[in-house]
């Protein structure tokens, strides 16, 4: 059994829990306090508003505990705002990041005209025709050499992994396709 937590501060939390519950041998926890991390194999940092989630992570004393969790090699999945928070730097400095992955993130990178859109992706080692829902999504503007860039929309990188950290700019939990979630759980 894999024990996966979803950071329960703001944003699309329950959708992740619902999708995790569709996978066999997964136990879930809503995470608000540092001590809850100790029993987990993996943690999801959901989409929402990265400025708000960042502030609440700090208020709840979770900055160092999450960094430690990542250092221990436990799995982390950051989706949308969660991707922003996993980054090293953003083009907008108002968000304090966790710096778990060597990426520079462009927040709201797809601009106004296409605030939200849906497409399908082919992701090596995961599969084809994977639905991807983008909502005021970021993209990865720069990535370090050991970051594996997994998927693109046009020339923009929108999914990547580095060791135990996996990030996507879209919301896998809002589709009915749980392949990305299964991939994450397997790696935890």
Residues 9-38 that bind ligand GLN (CB under 6 A): none
Q: Is 171 a catalytic residue?
A: yes
Annotated catalytic residue: which of 16, 86, 173, 182?
Answer: 173
Report if residue 138 touches ligand GLN, rule: CB under 6 A.
yes
CB-nearer residue toward ligand GLN: 54 or 161: 54
For the chain, give the number of residues. Answer: 188
Determine contact, residues 79/133, Cβ cutoff 8 Å: no
Q: Which stretch binds ligand GLN (CB under 6 A): 25-33, 58-66, 78-86, 142-150?
A: 78-86
Q: Is 16 a catalytic residue?
A: no
Annotated catalytic residue: which of 80, 86, 182, 188?
Answer: 80
Determine contact, residues 70/164, Cβ cutoff 8 Å: yes
Report if residue 47 touches ligand GLN, rule: CB under 6 A.
yes
Q: From the CB of 127, what's the least distance to ligand GLN, in Å?
A: 23
Report if residue 85 touches ligand GLN, rule: CB under 6 A.
no
State which of residues 102, 117, 136, 152 lies at the interface with ligand GLN (CB under 6 A). Answer: 136
Tokens of 10: 């703001």
Report if residue 135 touches ligand GLN, rule: CB under 6 A.
yes
DSSP 173: G
CA distance 86 to 137: 14
| Interface characters, 89-118, with ligand GLN (x: CB under 6 A) | ------------------xx----------
CA distance 76 to 47: 13
CA distance 77 to 43: 6
| Interface characters, 49-68, with ligand GLN (x: CB under 6 A) | xx------------------
* SS3 at position 80: coil
Annotated catalytic residue: which of 86, 171, 182, 188?
Answer: 171
Beta bridge partners of 149: 160
Size of the site for ligand GLN (CB under 6 A): 12
Determine contact, residues 164/8, Cβ cutoff 8 Å: no
CA distance 37 to 121: 32
Q: Strand ranges (DSSP E) for 23-114? A: 26-31, 42-45, 75-79, 89-90, 103-106
Applying CB under 6 A, which residues contact ligand GLN?
Answer: 47-50, 80-81, 84, 107-108, 135-136, 138
């Amino acid at each position: 059994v894999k024990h996966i937590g979803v950071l329960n501060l703001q944003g699309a939390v329950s959708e992740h829990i619902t999708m995790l519950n569709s996978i066999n041998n997964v136990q879930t926890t809503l995470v608000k306090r540092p001590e809850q991390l100790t029993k987990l194999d993996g943690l999801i940092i959901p989409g929402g508003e990265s400025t708000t989630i960042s502030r609440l992570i700090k208020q709840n004393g979770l900055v160092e505990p999450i960094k430690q969790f990542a250092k221990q090699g436990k799995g982390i999945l950051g989706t949308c705002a969660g991707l922003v928070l996993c980054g090293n730097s953003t083009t907008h400095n108002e968000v304090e990041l966790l710096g778990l992955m060597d990426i520079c993130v462009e927040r709201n990178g797809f601009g106004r005209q296409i605030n939200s859109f849906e497409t399908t992706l082919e992701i090596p080692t995961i599969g084809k025709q994977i639905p991807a829902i983008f909502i005021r999504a970021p993209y990865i503007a720069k990535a370090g050499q050991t970051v594996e860039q997994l998927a693109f929309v046009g020339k923009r990188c929108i999914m990547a992994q580095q060791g135990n950290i996996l990030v996507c700019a879209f919301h896998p939990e809002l589709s009915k396709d749980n392949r990305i979630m299964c991939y994450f759980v397997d790696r935890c």
